[in-house]
Amino acid sequence: MLFTNEVVISIIVLLALSLLRINVVLALIIAALTCGILGHYGVNEAGLSEALNLTIKNFTGGLGGGAETAMNYAVLGAFAVALSKSGVTDLLAYKVIRAFGQRPSGRSVFWFKYLVLFTLVLFSMSSQNVIPVHIAFIPIVVPPLLSVMNQLKIDRRAVACALTFGLTATYMLIPAGFGQIFIESILVKNINTAGEKFNLITNTAQVTQAMLIPVLGMILGLLFALFVSYRKPRVYAEVAEAQADDIEQRVAQVKPFHIGVSIAAIVVTCFVQLSTNSTVVGGLAGLVIFALGGIFKLKQSNDIFQDGLRLMAMIGFVMIAASGFANVVNATGGVPALVEGVNGVIGAGNKGIAALLMLVVGLFITMGIGSSFSTVPIITSIYVPLCISFGFSPLATVAIVGVAAALGDAGSPASDSTLGPTSGLNADGKHDHIWDSVVPTFIHYNIPLLVFGWIAAMVL
């Protein structure tokens, strides 16, 4: 049943094409066509030509669902470009380079290596709430640090794991910034809507409690990646030897006033975003502060926005294509059929198998859609009644739904949690998106989430 469902088959096609290094957007389109043609349209039922036409119609009709996400990334990209023009990110990179020195040796290499890695973990965590720019900081902050990473011989797969941890675990656990959107606006809202007729009502505190055990699994995955899997040195050939000198020249032009304006823009952006629940409005407020502070002139706003678009264009297109794919998945009815089939196979009383299969199904769905935020509405209306029928507690139900939605996010080719790290680490063309970002994060986060999500479902 599992491997004959059109959703599962399309996800396998998507992953296979991605592992063969086919462009993710093309892989998503091909996977969507596969899902649609094999879906409830049915070649025998509707005819191949009609099934293809219906699939294309649903795919193109769903592209608009990713427009809001693309706009968010465009504004965040513009904000990141404006922040870089202030010189703050160059100053940060320069301080790191100077603190490290040009001749690493002995124990200093070991300690500084992990200082860099855990600093990036903190950066990615704060990008979800403290400085809510999400992944937009990565292509600004990470490229200047690549020469330092090369000197330290840091395996960039470890850096990808460090960044993805902060991007994913933070919104799952902390209800602020993007976490507020995921936990309050999406997870709690959808669970309460689906559970209302079953007298199942949850809240933010319960979601945070339910997510503690799964996030603990991610923490262990992070530590295993940094201290075991990718601890050994990895050599990358330098592309630009003069990078540190270039940064030094730019840092010389940074004034304390520029730093003050940057801090004010970050604070205003955070406050406005949290007040309005709008990334676009928050980013716009930050851009206004940068303009009023003289970081860029108003007549340069067009260039700033265009640079932001270029910075985030690939991610935006992937998210738009993923939205089209999600619309095809919804139109085929493959997800309810998959869950109902799983329910029929399990039988009554097998809570352990039920929890495991629901998590696995969530993994497949999110791997294709690429966004846990988009997965929650798809699975909640099905999973909540299913969990209640198997006798899971409210906390266990929240854990199953939340983890099932977030499971594939860290290891999906179409997820911004993997696309973001690649955008910074591949600045010199030496970091492959699938093999150096997707596969490492899948191994170190999706597998622990599957295990610890199952534990949470059984003990809560």
Residues in the chain: 460
Task: Give me the residue spans of the domains in the chain.
Answer: 2-232+241-459
Return the ∠ at Cα 366 (arms to 281 and 412), rounded to 5°.
85
**Which of 143-152, 241-250, 426-435 comes out lowest in average pLDDT?**
241-250
- pLDDT of residue 173 exceeding 80: yes
Question: Alpha-carbon distance 151 to 447, whole Å?
Answer: 32
3-state helix, strand, coil in the chain (%, to 5): 80, 0, 20
Residue in this structure with the two tokens 């699939």, named with its chain if needed: 55
pLDDT in tens, 110-128: 778 888 899 889 888 888 7
Decide: 214 and 452 in contact? Cβ < 8 Å. yes
Decide: 128 and 173 in contact? Cβ < 8 Å. no
Decide: 153 and 234 in contact? Cβ < 8 Å. yes
Span 344-366, average pLDDT: 77
Span 49-53, average pLDDT: 74
**Contacts for 264 with CB less than 8 Å, ≥ 6 apart:** 289, 293
**Which of 22-31, 71-80, 120-129, 256-265 comes out lowest in average pLDDT?**
71-80
User: How far from 153 is each of 42, 105, 117, 399, 429, CA to CA, in Å?
Assistant: 53, 12, 12, 39, 16
Of 6, 3, 67, 44, which is closest to residue 328 (Cα–Cα)? 6
User: How far from 343 is each of 104, 283, 361, 383, 410, CA to CA, in Å?
Assistant: 58, 44, 11, 10, 26
At residue 346, the 3 state secondary structure works out as: helix
And the tokens for 18? 């991605």
Question: Alpha-carbon distance 307 to 286, whole Å?
Answer: 16
pLDDT at residue 214 in the model: 93
Residue in this structure with the two tokens 């559970």, named with its chain if needed: 195
Of 282, 326, 161, 294, which is closest to residue 231 (Cα–Cα)? 161
pLDDT in tens, 394-449: 899 989 988 888 887 777 887 878 888 888 888 778 888 888 998 999 999 999 99
Question: Alpha-carbon distance 203 to 247, whole Å?
Answer: 47
**Residue 418 CA from chain centroid, whole number:** 6
**329 confidence band (pLDDT: 50, 70, 90):** confident
**Residue 330 CA from chain centroid, whole number:** 21
Burial class (CB in 10 A: 0-12, 13-18, 19+), 139: buried
- pLDDT of residue 323 exceeding 90: no
The DSSP secondary-structure symbol of 184 reads: I
First CA to last CA distance, the chain:
29
At residue 152, the 3 state secondary structure works out as: helix
pLDDT at residue 213 in the model: 93
- pLDDT of residue 244 exceeding 60: no
Question: Alpha-carbon distance 149 to 104, whole Å?
Answer: 11
**242 confidence band (pLDDT: 50, 70, 90):** very low
pLDDT at residue 43 in the model: 46
Residue in this structure with the two tokens 């492959």, named with its chain if needed: 432
207 vs 319, which has greater pLDDT?
Answer: 207
Of 16, 53, 61, 4, which is closest to residue 33 (Cα–Cα)? 53
DSSP of 187-235: IIHHHHHHHGGGT----HHHHHHHHHHHHHHHHHHHHHIIIIIT-S---
pLDDT in tens, 293-307: 877 776 777 777 777
pLDDT at residue 368 in the model: 67
pLDDT at residue 158 in the model: 94
Of 156, 131, 153, which is closest to residue 418 (Cα–Cα)? 156
- Average pLDDT value over all residues in the chain: 78
pLDDT at residue 174 in the model: 85
pLDDT at residue 444 in the model: 93
User: How far from 103 is each of 81, 97, 146, 243, 271, CA to CA, in Å?
Assistant: 31, 11, 16, 16, 42
pLDDT at residue 97 in the model: 63
pLDDT in tens, 62-102: 776 656 666 776 777 777 777 777 777 667 666 666 665 55
Span 334-348, average pLDDT: 66
The DSSP secondary-structure symbol of 103 reads: S
Percentage of the chain modeled with pLDDT above 90:
12
Span 208-215, average pLDDT: 91
